[in-house]
Amino acid sequence: MPARRFPRPGTPRRVATLSVHTSPLDQPGAGDAGGMNVYIVEVSRRLAARGIAVDVFTRATSSDLPPVVEMVPGVTVRHVSAGPFEGLGKEELPAQLCAFTAAVLREEAQHEPGHYDLVHSHYWLSGQVGWLARDRWSVPLIHTAHTLAKVKNEALAAGDRPEPRARVIGEEQVVAEADRLIANTDEEARQLVRLYGADPSRTLVVPPGVDLDRFSPGDRSAARRAIGITDDLVVLLFVGRIQPLKAPDVLLHAAAQLLADDPALRSRLRVHVVGAPSGSGLEAPEQLQKLAGDLGIADVVTFFPPQPPERLADHYRAADVTVVPSHNESFGLVALEAQACGTPVVAAAVGGLPTAVRDGVSGVLVDGHDPRIYAAAVHAVLGRRQLLSAGARRHAGLFSWDRTADALVAAYTSAAEEMHRATQQFRHPAIGPLRTLPGVQVAR
């Protein structure tokens, strides 16, 4: 049996990143792929640039996927077989966590003890796996929830299903076990403490970033030519997964209100929806198209599939306003990307969006989901677009993935040093320090 390994203080050399239900290689904007995927990709790249190797474990969803993919030098994506490749919904994944955990532990067991210095889990399913890996490897568990069941259930959209009790219990367990909880905003940190009893001293606020090189102001006319529209149009943009939580229907109702208020606008107004059905939106995948027809605005609404980042930047640059009417957002990367391209945002004043959007400077925040209020907000932004565009660029410039990565490395280091100190409290003359497990008292 290999010698027992104890946590090493200092900056980690290799991180096991867990993303059970969605791969960083997936295209955001469809299925279960969204801001979390972008987060993992961008952070992993920057950790690798700092000399920290990253192994991302994710569930294989196709037999065609290679077991191992090098995303960039220093970042390896490992596809884990856990359950059937296809046709398995996110709500069915808890039954596959045992298989997923076994595969992660087997990978580590092929190396010398101490191969991974730390586990960073994303979303509660991964947190369950990370909790077991933490105790098996004696390394810190850093957890980022991305969304919280209790928060989502407090702000359900009409027709959306509440998150199940099993998820609530799973989140409570992970919150109790993680060495550090990473919140995107102060509001999320407060929610973790208020709703889940998180330890404030272990709950850190680390805002996500934006790729300021990829998402930047550019030639607006060129961007419009790239997506096939002319300079004289007024373009409202929605980007994201099409599901009740994201509330794209609010934008369509607001567009109908704008046309009711000013019928002459019809010849110039365009509403662009970039994304694909997801979650409960899969139950009626054509519902948004049907709504456009019912509202009499099908002629001004264009649907685009999810776009790769370079094409997505063109959509942001081409738009006059990006609308983010979600019922809940832990942060709102779409709002930040749009602003980085110089496009002001009208967003719901929920979750992390008041952090992602500076009200009156980079866009407008709206309380509630009344389409009439959204229509008025869009109209106000159009009247101040040039000023708000400059404010949007300045505000987005405050966020970068490099800052996010630096803050995460600091969190990793402090967690490792704390665990190292804890293991030094108990020593046996023959075998050295003994790890105190949760719920176990060590006699002196």
Q: Which residue, among 150, 155, 151, 133, has the nearest Cα to 142 in the 3D structure? A: 133
Asked if residue 108 belongs to a known ligand binding site, the reply is no
The answer on whether 167 is annotated among ligand-binding residues is yes
For residue 281, say whether it is annotated as part of any ligand binding site.
no
203 annotated ligand binder: no
Other CB atoms within 10 Å distance of the CB of residue 73: 10
Ligand-binding annotation for 70, yes or no, is no
> Is there a binding annotation on residue 394?
no
Q: Tell me whether residue 116 is annotated as binding.
A: no
Q: How many CB atoms lie within 10 A of CB 165?
A: 9
306: annotated binding-site residue?
no
CA distances from 442 to 139, 286, 320, 426, 436 (A): 19, 60, 63, 8, 7
As a whole number of angstroms, the distance between CA 34 and CA 308 comes to 12
Q: Is 263 annotated as a binding residue?
A: no
71 marked among binding-site residues: no
Residue 21 marked as a ligand binder? yes
CA–CA gap between residue 93 and residue 80 (Å, rounded): 13
The continuous run of DSSP H or E covering 346 comes out as: strand 345-348
Per the structure block, which two tokens stand in for 432?
A: 């050295």
Does residue 90 have a known ligand-binding role?
yes
- 3-state SS record for 392-438: HHHHHCCCCHHHHHHHHHHHHHHHHHHHHHHHCCCEECCCEECCCCC
> In this structure, which long-range contacts are made by residues 280-289, counting pairs with CB atoms below 8 Å and at least 24 apart in sequence?
280/159, 280/160, 280/161, 280/243, 280/244, 281/241, 281/242, 281/243, 281/244, 285/242, 288/242, 288/248, 288/249, 288/252
SS (H, E, C) 103-136: HHHHHHHCCCCCCCCEEEEEHHHHHHHHHHHHHH
Is 286 annotated as ligand-binding?
A: no
Residue 374 labeled ligand binder: no
The answer to whether 147 is annotated as binding is: yes
Ligand-binding site membership of 7 (annotated): no
425 is in an annotated binding site: no
Q: For residue 417, say whether it is annotated as part of any ligand binding site.
A: no
Q: Which residues are known binding-site members?
A: 21, 27-28, 32-37, 90, 123, 147, 167, 241, 246, 307, 316-317, 319, 329, 337, 343
Q: Which residues are known binding-site members for Mg(2+)?
A: 316-317, 319, 343
Q: Which residues are known binding-site members for UDP-N-acetyl-alpha-D-glucosamine?
A: 27-28, 35, 241, 246, 307, 329, 337
Q: Which residues are known binding-site members for 1D-myo-inositol 3-phosphate?
A: 21, 32-37, 90, 123, 147, 167
